[in-house]
Structure 1
Amino acid sequence: MLKKYKDEQEFYSLVGIKLQTFQKMVEILKKAEAIKKAVGGKPNKLSIENRLLMTLEYWKEYSSYRVIAKRYNISHTSCIRNIFWIENTLIKSGIFNLSGKKDLIKNKGINNNLLAIDATETPIERIKKTKITFFG
Structure 2
Amino acid sequence: MISCSFILCGCVVVFKFGWYILQEAYNEQHRKGGRKAKISLENKLMITLNHYREYRRQFHIAQDFGMTESAVCKAIQWVESILIIHKDFALPSKKTLWQDNELETILIDATEVPIERPKKAKTTILRQKETPYFKSTNCC
Matched, 1:11 2:11: no
Structure 2: which 5+ runs fail to align?
107-140
Aligned to 2:79: 86
Q: 2:44 aligns with which of 51, 56, 63?
A: 51
Q: How far, CA to CA, are the matches of 1:39 and 1:55 in structure 2?
A: 27
**CA offsets 1:98-126 (integer angstroms, 9 cap, x no match):** 221101111026x9798xxxxxxxxxxxx
Match of 1:89, as an amino acid? I
Aligned residues: 106
Q: How far, CA to CA, are the matches of 1:112 and 1:42 in structure 2?
A: 56
Same amino acid, percent of matched pairs = 25
Query: Which segment drifts farther, 41-50 or 78-87?
Result: 41-50
Match of 1:64, as an amino acid? R
Relative to the length of structure 1, the TM-score reads 0.67
Write the mapping of 1:25-64 to structure 2, written as runs, cut at 5 A: 25-64=18-57
The change in CA–CA distance for 1:64 and 1:103 in structure 2 (over 3 A counts) is same
Relative to the length of structure 2, the TM-score reads 0.65
**CA offsets 1:52-110 (integer angstroms, 9 cap, x no match):** 1110000011111111111111111111001100011011012112221101111026x
Q: Please state how far the C-alpha of 1:40 moved relative to its aligned partner.
A: 4.3
Q: Which has the larger radius of gyration?
A: 2
